[in-house]
A and B are shown apart, each in its own frame.
Chain A
């Protein structure tokens, strides 16, 4: 497996609280991605990064923000969690973007009560 770690693996939180998920890589890959996986929706892109401090929105970015201050870390923040953000969140990395394969993390199961 590519050196990609997500933390925490599981989290339960309450509506309205801020939540930050972390993706850490040891591969020095340029591109990093955050997806959410939901039944019936597959994987949907939230945000992605193409370098330090370079990020862009995906198709479901509302309610989420990201930061990438170092090559190895890509943080996903839910400013005020809602029940609709209960999901499994996957981080992915790639050296050259999506025309080459993405390497995925193990996922974070987030429950917002």
Chain B
């Protein structure tokens, strides 16, 4: 069965420092992976998806099939990055399986 693992429940990073939120998945097929974010008092929203290979708000994520990982990275953290981050796997379509989430806190 498909599974998404986010090993860190909480992560605190100083402003200006690099950020890396870890995500590992298990799925026998070809995965579609996403990062969703929930800012305080806002709806859960898509941050980025691996297939588009884009950078949103300075965040990037590279799919590593060998390590079955899809870690989210940002070189310089900003205070507005504080939020709950969820890694998600679309498998099998049309179901989306979420990880348990990582609460990121940026320390001023």
Hey, which chain B residues are within 8 Å of A59, CB to CB? Answer: 97
Query: B residues near A, CB below 8 A?
Result: 6, 9, 32, 34, 36, 43-46, 49, 86, 90, 93-101
A-B contact count (CB 8 A): 54
A-B interface, 5 closest residue pairs, ranked by CB to CB distance from nearest? A97-B94, A98-B90, A101-B46, A42-B100, A98-B96
A19: interface (CB < 8 Å): no
Number of interface residues of A (CB under 8 A): 26
In the complex, per-residue mask of A25-51: 1 if CB is within 8 Å of any chain B CB, else 0: 000000101010000111111001010
Find out whether the CB atom of B94 lies under 8 angstroms from the CB atom of A31: yes
With A42-B6, A102-B96 given, can you name 8 additional A-B contacts, CB distance below 8 Å?
Answer: A33-B96, A42-B86, A42-B98, A43-B44, A43-B101, A97-B94, A98-B90, A99-B94
* Measured CA separation A94–B32 after assembly (Å): 15
CB distance from B63 to the nearest CB of A (A): 14
CB distance from B9 to the nearest CB of A (A): 7
| B-contacting residues, A77-110, CB 8 Å | 90, 92, 94, 97-99, 101-102, 104-107
Q: Beyond A31-B94, A42-B101, A45-B95, is A90–B49 a contact (Cβ under 8 Å)?
A: no
Find out whether the CB atom of A104 lies under 8 angstroms from the CB atom of B45: yes
Q: Beyond A40-B9, A98-B90, A99-B93, is A104–B98 a contact (Cβ under 8 Å)?
A: no
Find out whether the CB atom of A43 lies under 8 angstroms from the CB atom of B93: no
A58: interface (CB < 8 Å): yes
Q: Beyond A90-B44, A99-B32, is A48–B95 a contact (Cβ under 8 Å)?
A: yes
Find out whether the CB atom of A99 lies under 8 angstroms from the CB atom of B97: no
Which of B94, B95, B99 has the largest number of chain A CB atoms within 10 A?
A: B94
Hey, which chain B residues are within 8 Å of A45, CB to CB? Answer: 95-97
